[in-house]
Each structure stands twice: as structure tokens, then as C-alpha cells.
Amino acid sequence: MDALPVALCLCGDVMTARGVDQILPHPCSPAIFEPYVRDARQYVEMAESTNGPIARPVDFGYPWGDATRVLASVDLRIANLETAVTADGVPWTDKGIHYRMHPDNVRCLAAARLDVCTLANNHALDWGRGALLETLDSLHRAGIATAGAGPKLAEAQRFAFLPVRAGRVGVLALGASSSGIPRSWAAKQDRAGLWMLRHCTEREADAVGERIARTKRRGDIVIASLHWGSNWGYEVPDEHVAFAHALIERGVDVIHGHSSHHLRPIEVQRDRLVLYGCGDFLNDYEGIAGHEDFRPDLALAYLPKLDPTTGRLLELRMAPWRIRRMRLESATLGDAAWMAETLSRIGAAYGTRVAVDAGGYLALAHQSL
């Protein structure tokens, strides 16, 4: 009898900071240091003025809303956590936005049953290196594995391995300066920080491939989680495409890309899934004007099923959501259709199409599936 496929949930950027942190049971000090907003509660007020009141405090599961059932239905859940988990620290100098959530609110992440939080992104060190270490400790105490950050370079480059079926899924995470990560955030042999990509080149791919070759066992599935690129726009730089292909040639089975605040193209390369940009999964952007044409209020949970012995993509369905009152609600059929049309249009160059299925999910079509 054939082995059951490995079912994953891959989420884009999760920002449980600022306004979201303020509605949870244990908010940080609301003081923030942005050019135009000095109190995080203003983000709550903007959301309420747009979509109605939020009764505070909410319970820890509130932000995940209707997505909880989907998150519980898979083998593993992986998200890019774009916030420090600390109530302390000093905001990083010359950085306009600083995200943090109170450590006592980490139960919000546990409520989603997240298995791995990737941290190689442009907000993990917003409150300093000490706060990064506290973030790692808080997540590990909550039973959530991490990838892409550590007290030293060796730990930042370490795989997060989790058992599935008869094998393992290994997650590694890297961040590129094109996403806004300061180069000084790079981990070193004696300094806490992130696993940084200097450039998306063959040489960098070789270095990742060497690490995979030393670590990957027969039957392992490897996911490379990449924080790269700009916030807005559908175009994928040629070097990102080449780098994704190079990683797949060197043993990566899934490319989990993120950084943009909206969806970017999907590709199937050598029967492997490439997500160039998953968009935001949870944020506090309601009421902020600008970029409405990209629909940053819409989110997808990517639900690939993989062959457990080869890592080959067998199926990709996506659950569509809308962020409303800082909570994930089921998207309307109209919203789902908009996402499907957009992904089909921007994915045409990559040979992928997306349609809404009978259950209201988005389904990927490709010649290999």
C-alpha cells in the first residue's frame, strides 16, 4: 500500500506585533517609534474605524479565526514570524518600524499549533540581539521550533527537523538584504543574528547545497524558507528564479518565499513547489491607505501534499482568507476568484494556473500534477 502524502500548511508573514499584540491579554507598552504613529493602539483604532469594534482583550486563538480548522488538518504548520517576542530591548537605530509582541502572548502562536517559525527576516532583531535571544527562548519554551536565527552562525544555519510519517521534514531559513534586512544583522561565529544571503548566486546555492548534502537523509523533505524581495509588485527578479532552481537542483523540495505584502507567482520546477511570495498571513494593516489594488487584506494558507519518499509535489490547494478586525475570516467567493485570477495571470509565464474548486479552495493546475 502506498504511503500517505505529507500534508503541510505554509503561511506567509505573521505579524502578531503592534496592534495585534495590543488586543491580546498581555500587551507590551504601546509606545512605538514610527515617523507618524507613536502609540500601537492607534492601529487598533484604525482597524475598528474600518471594520467595526474589537472586544478587548481577545483570547489567544482569536487572530486565527476561521483558519483554526485548516491549521489543525495538516501534518506540519510553518510560518514566517515577523516580530520579536520580547517586552524589553532597545529599538534598532535608524529603522522606522519596530515589531514586538509580549512573551506572555506567545500562547497566540501556540493556539495556531505552529510547528516552525522562520526568523530570517527584517523584523526579528527590531529590539536588539538580546531580544532575539529572548524570542528564541520564548518560542522554544512554547514547543515551537525555529530556523534562520541563533546565538551564533552555526545555530542560525541549523535545520529545524520534525518527524512526519516515516521520515522527517527539515526547514532552513535565509534572509536577503533585498527584503530590508540590515546587513549588520548577519549572525557570526561569535554573534547572534540571522542566516543572511549576501547575494542570490550559484556560489550561495552551493553553500546551501553542501549543508543539505551533509544533513539530508534518504526520505527527508527539505524546505528552504526565503525572505527576499520588495514589499510590492508581482515581478520576480531573474536572480530569484535562478536561485530557486539552483536550490532545487541541490536537494531542496519546497521553496517557501515571502516578504511581499501580497501574493506572488507559483511555479512547479522539477516536480517541486516554488512559492515566490506567500503574502502576509496576519497583520494590523486595516485602515492604512495605499496599494489597495494588491489586496493586502487577503491571505492564503498554502496546503501542499508531497510524496513522502521523494518530496515531489502531488497537489496544491490554498485556503483563502480575509483579514478583518485583526482576525482571519473566510474569504468570499468573489475574493477567492480574484486571487485565483491574479495567480493565474502572474503565473502564466511559469506554466501555472489556479481555479476555485467546489469547496471554495484555490487549486493549482500544472502539467506535472
Compute CA distances 339 → 78, 119, 264, 296, 334, whole Å. 21, 27, 10, 11, 9
> Tell me, what's the pLDDT at 269?
97
Torsion angles phi and psi, residue 19, rounded to 5: -65, -40
Residue 132, domain member (yes or no): yes
Q: Give strand pairing partners of 56.
A: none
Residue 356 above 70 pLDDT?
A: yes
Residues 6+ apart with CB under 8 A from 34: 96, 97, 98
Q: Give the C-alpha separation, 15 to 165, whole Å.
A: 30
d(CA 187, CA 180): 16
- Is residue 239 within 8 Å of 189, Cβ to Cβ? no
CATH number at residue 145: 3.60.21.10
Q: Does 86 have pLDDT greater than 60?
A: yes
Element (H, E) at 346: helix 333-347
Please check whether residue 224 is in contact with residue 144, taking contact to mean a CB–CB distance below 8 angstroms: no
pLDDT at 3: 80
Whole-structure pTM value: 0.97
The closest alpha carbon to 77, from 3, 177, 144, 172, belongs to 144
Going by C-beta distance under 8 Å and a sequence separation of 6 or more, which residues neighbour residue 248? 255, 269, 270, 272, 274
> For position 1, what pLDDT does the model report?
41
Residues 178-195 have pLDDT tens digits of 999 999 999 999 999 999
Asked, for residue 62, whether it belongs to a domain, the answer is yes
**Grid cell at residue 89:** 530591548
Q: Tens digits of per-residue pLDDT, 198-255? A: 899 999 999 999 999 999 999 899 999 999 999 999 999 999 999 999 999 999 999 9
Residue 84 domain-assigned (yes or no): yes
Report the pLDDT value the prediction gives residue 301, as an integer from 0 to 100: 98
Asked if residue 71 is part of any domain, the answer here is: yes
367 vs 174, residue with greater confidence: 174
- Packed helices 238-249 and 202-215: angle between N→C axes, nearest 10 degrees: 30
pLDDT at 2 over 80: no
Q: Are 131 and 184 in contact (CB under 8 A)?
A: no
For residue 196, name the pLDDT band (cuts at 50, 70, 90).
very high
Q: Taking Cα atoms as reference points, which of 190, 264, 189, 282 lies closest to residue 227?
A: 264
Q: Residues of the chain with pLDDT > 70: what percent?
A: 99
d(CA 234, CA 265) in angstroms, rounded, equals 7
Per-residue burial over 222-244, b = 16 or more CB atoms within 10 Å of its CB, e = otherwise = bbbbbbbbeeeebebeeebbebb
Residue indicated by cell numbers 527584503: 179
Among 336, 330, 335, which Cα is nearest to 356's?
A: 336
Q: Mean pLDDT in the chain?
A: 96
> C-alpha cell of 271?
516536480
Rg of the chain in Å (alpha carbons): 19
Mean pLDDT computed over 75-93: 96
Among the listed ranges 264-268, 283-287, 299-303, which one has the minimum average pLDDT value?
A: 283-287
Domain of 281? 6-365
Residue 1 lies in a domain: no
Residues across the chain: 369
Domain membership flag for residue 252: yes
pLDDT tens, residue by residue, 296-343 = 999 999 999 999 999 999 999 999 999 999 999 999 999 999 999 999
Report whether pLDDT(124) > 50.
yes
Quote the number of domains for the chain.
1
End-to-end distance of the chain based on CA atoms, in angstroms? Answer: 21
Kindly state whether residue 243 falls inside one of the protein's structural domains: yes
